[in-house]
Amino acid sequence: MATRVCSFSKINLGLAIGPVRTDGFHGLTTMYQTLALHDVVSVMAHLADETRITLTTNHRHVPVDGRNTAWKMVERFIARLGISADVTIHIEKNLPVQGGMGAGSANAAAALLGLERELGVALDGVSRLEMAAEVGSDVPLFLLGGAVMGTGRGEIVVPMPDLAAIPCVVAVPETGVSTPAAFRDWDALPEAPSSSKDLDPLTPARKRDRLEELSLAYSSLSAKTGVVEPDTSGIVRDNLLDGDLGNKQGSSEDQNGMLNSLAENTLLALVRTGIGNGLRNDFEEVVFPQYPSLRETKRHLMGNDSGSSALYAALSGSGSALFGLYRSMADARAAQQRVQASGVRALLTTTLPRSDYWRRMFAG
């Protein structure tokens, strides 16, 4: 029987783009957050005289050969262990392909976890992360889950104090955005807008060298809100929730209220202190002018009335997916209806804290 692994998605709560590095990549600082929306990756494997990989999927645009990130991950794992195996992978796609939600990267991480379980052998945590970074910049975050700060190309990951589950709406436009083209457009920008009248109120003014500032802001927030440490299983946990909430008595409704309050306060702290002028995604500055409909979708996610407006909304990665985070599920449903009324697909979900990420990982 195959091992079924939930392949969860992510959003970028904030993303700052730095100068081009000597290796040709841009330096990045980003805050990832995993979501409950997911694909399902099924893995069957056994040791064999020679390695054979078979990959199938229900989505016609997903490659089923060595171009697939899950295939690449399996190849590297087998090579690193110096073994041969017969591996069959099936990817049941529910997430948009190339939508800025990390679906392909998550598939690679899920394939690794499924393969480890099938073969009864696992790499240590450092080797896992090193191998994941070879496959793709977004892959390592899916070996942590929850709130994760990424630096370098995004592949150097640090677990952050977790948000409790927050209602979230993900807008999935049909528009496709090329990440390489978005980076080229970013590099072509002048150092600053010519005048304040050029600024979009949804996208604050750019400041080119903000990577260190953003990293320090996130680290400062971590120090103020809690300490993240690994537990004995090697899975990171958040002592803020364990210590401040886990030991308190009261009804489940009381504790849920405390979690929601904590989540909102932590998110608002991110928004207010993340980059001085507020958390944001630099890609919006180049993507929105090229695709004005995405800017309009962000406006629908934000809302106009204070009763159901978003706590925060932004482009995820380079897009084209966008997301909004809300105080209540009722506010999220109202936002979903606004987006759908404009003709754009909208998915209702929640952010996925680290403990839930690992508890729900294996689908059975």
Given the DSSP bridges, would you call strands 52-57 and 85-92 parallel, antiparallel or unpaired?
parallel
In angstroms, the CA 8 to CA 1 distance is 22
In angstroms, the CA 21 to CA 30 distance is 17
Strand partners, 47: 85
Question: Is 10 known to be catalytic?
Answer: yes
In angstroms, the CA 265 to CA 271 distance is 10
Structure token pair of residue 41? 């990756």
Residue 263: is it exposed, middle or buried by C-beta count within 10 angstroms (0-12/13-18/19+)? buried
Residues 317, 15: contact at Cβ < 8 Å?
A: yes
In angstroms, the CA 70 to CA 90 distance is 10
Among 10, 72, 93, 298, the one annotated catalytic: 10
Among 39, 138, 162, 331, the one annotated catalytic: 138
Residues 147, 160: contact at Cβ < 8 Å?
A: yes
In angstroms, the CA 87 to CA 110 distance is 14
Number of other residues whose CB lies within 10 A of the CB of residue 244 = 14
Structure token pair of residue 318? 């380079």
Say how far residue 263 (Cα) sits from the centre of its chain: 17
Residues 268, 279: contact at Cβ < 8 Å?
A: no
Question: Active-site residues: which are they?
Answer: 10, 138
